[in-house]
Structure 1
Amino acid sequence: MALIKDWSLNDVWQLFSIVDDGDIESYSDNFHYMKKHYSAGNAGVCDLFAGNLAQNKSCGSRFGCFLCALNKEDLSLENQMDTDPKTYGFMRPLNDLRTYMINTLFDYNNRSTLGRKLSKDGYIKVGLNQYSLPYRMKLLKMVLTIQQEAYETSGNHTIDLIDYKELLAIQFAWSREGGESWNGTQDLA
């Protein structure tokens, strides 16, 4: 059973603050970078970090998959980039990719009519479902460009979204759809 199972988020933040004040011993005596990360995600505002425990307000940052389309904007990520561009600015291309994908989510010109499922009667239902091959190629080119630019300009950051094995799997899938006559021959240009 988890020791903090019944704790609120505020309880966890208060523990971090107590550990940082040196009132109790912990496996770590410094949560500085974690607090900096969450504070930047909340536009630099977090009452707990200022020592104001009376308000019992934790940071409102949300971190997860940068491509999550449940919210139109990723305010935590945008706050981080605006609050501390030197530390978090490398993530701007990821946010731009996310924004592009959200803005084109319902553009049905980017969808394929390729049937994916065989019915019990042996028919394939055809309809707008997955992204079209040209759109997926465009997304792959964008991702590989982000990776290449991060590699060329990295001081401390590199972005690895797709590795070589995944790229081979993508090319294999595309060749099965008829997008390439032979794996690896499709030009993304």
Structure 2
Amino acid sequence: MSFKIIVIGTSLGGLSALKNILVNLPLDFLTPIAIVQHRHKDSDRTLQALLQEHTSLPIREVEDKQEILPGQIYLAPPDYHLLVEPGYFALSTDEPVSFARPSIDVLFESAADIYREQVIGVILTGANQDGTQGLKKVQAHKGITIVQEPATAESSIMPKAAIAAVAVDWIVSLSEIAPLLVNLCDYIRK
């Protein structure tokens, strides 16, 4: 069984955490990655540019009805929820969830509903509890759940909340996340 998508959620401290993961993914990494990074609703494309410096995999901010393609990294645009549909993304301006839009929970729950056990959910550093319900749903659908070891997080609140609420498959330090993702997804190519 191959994975259809990796969903990553982060907030405070997320930029450096995401850089650490992306720089360690190989050029031939094919599983699409969708990222919710909490940021101000008036943010520009600086996040995309900063992250692109650390990977040769293409990074783009999602547009509504954009097709999900292998080997791509997708960012939720500021002030929109990012949802997974069969084969493509949808954007929503529904009310904030856990005070956030984009919400990690919304991305994770929609991915779990569509791709079930073919989802890998990753919670990184952050200063609120967004992502906990979404990770719970990924687990309920037999997807893989990964949480950054709180001691290696700039803000441990989000990882601790996820660990407290979900029997997580993997709790690993930040430096171990990219190798773990490669190992989990690598057997597709063998």
Q: Which has the larger radius of gyration?
A: 1
Higher strand proportion, which one? Answer: 2
Structure with more contact order per residue of length (Cα contacts < 8 Å, sep ≥ 6)? 2
Higher helix proportion, which one? Answer: 1
Q: TM-score range by the shorter chain?
A: under 0.3
